[in-house]
A = this chain, B = another copy of it.
Amino acid sequence: MKCTRCKKIAAVALPSHNAGFCPECFKVFFSRQVEKAIKERTLFSKEDRILIALSGGKDSLALARELHLLGYNTAGLYIDLAIPGSSETARDHVERFCRDLGISLHVLEMEKEGMPIPEVRKKFNRPVCSVCGRIKRYYFNRFALDNGFSVLATGHNLDDEAARLFSNVMRWDVSYLGSQGPDLPAEQGFVRKVKPLYRLSEFETANYSFLAGIDYCYAPCPYSKGASFTYYKYLLDELEHEQPGRKISFYEGFLNRGRQAFDHIDQEGGEKPGPCPRCGYPTTGDICGVCRIREVMHR
């Protein structure tokens, strides 16, 4: 197979794009897909101050590298969860990566915030992933708002997004369907959230990270029972194999035609959130979810 762009020997075959690329041209392809996502969904501009949520994994580092090379005004935020044998390694990867590329990096330590995840885990009976996810979303959002960032960018890829959409459709969860996408606008108390890798599959971000020589963190979180939506990702991979391009057309079809159908439903249902009396974070309860976690931790 020859490279679709330069006719050298291809290293990456992409049936979904009916194309194949050599290592150099694959990076160009990757870059153009990111640019296309940014332009088509008007995710942000060169004027924006973009905070990138960095975990140390391939997706978030690939995103940071690409936005940096494209000349956007970026900074990274790593949240140190204090998980033994995991957080320190990931932090090392992130710190080295940012130093090498000259990306400014901020670190928030959950130990200092009074909620190191191992302690949180001991206090809650349910799986810690949802609690941990809530804490991370809270701090990423709050840090962005408190420090004047106009956008928070995360490394969610096409597989993440398509699997989440698939899950929402299987349950016809219309309120989630109304508010899913790579371009969630700012709302009272919430920074604008974007996912510039939504056009790129996990296979593609893995290839990019490898070919770009990104030294990312492979190890999954020791508390996680595997990636979320694993089974739906498997099903969508089967479908993609049978119908190349289906994953992106399913997701983009939703963005272009499906999502608007759920807009008005989303607005009709549910209470409008007000500010948490303790921290100001938007909540529909008495206090917000993270202040509640904080309360449990102090018991």
Name A's B-contacting residues (CB within 8 A): 169-174, 177, 231, 235, 238-239, 242, 246, 249-250, 253-254, 256-258, 260-262, 265
Q: Which residues of B contact A170 (CB under 8 A)?
A: 239, 246, 249-250, 253
Q: Which of B171, B174, B256, B265 contacts A172 (CB 8 A)?
A: B256
Describe A's contact surface by its main secondary structure: helix
Q: How far is the CA of A172 from the CA of B257 in the complex (A)?
A: 7
A242 contacts which chain B residues (CB < 8 A)? Answer: 231
What are 24 A-B pairs with beta-carbon distances under 8 A? Answer: A169-B169, A169-B258, A170-B239, A170-B246, A170-B249, A172-B250, A172-B253, A172-B254, A172-B256, A172-B257, A172-B258, A173-B257, A174-B258, A174-B261, A177-B261, A231-B242, A235-B235, A235-B238, A235-B239, A238-B238, A260-B265, A261-B261, A261-B262, A261-B265
Q: How far is the CA of A17 from the CA of B145 in the complex (A)?
A: 49
Residues of chain B contacted by A173 (CB below 8 angstroms): 257
CA distance A170 to B235 in the complex (A): 13
Closest-CB distance, A241 to chain B (whole angstroms): 11
Residues in chain B near residue A262, CB distance under 8 A = 261
Min CB distance, A163 to chain B, in Å?
A: 13
Q: Determine the chain B residues whose CB is within 8 A of the CB of A246 once the complex forms.
A: 170
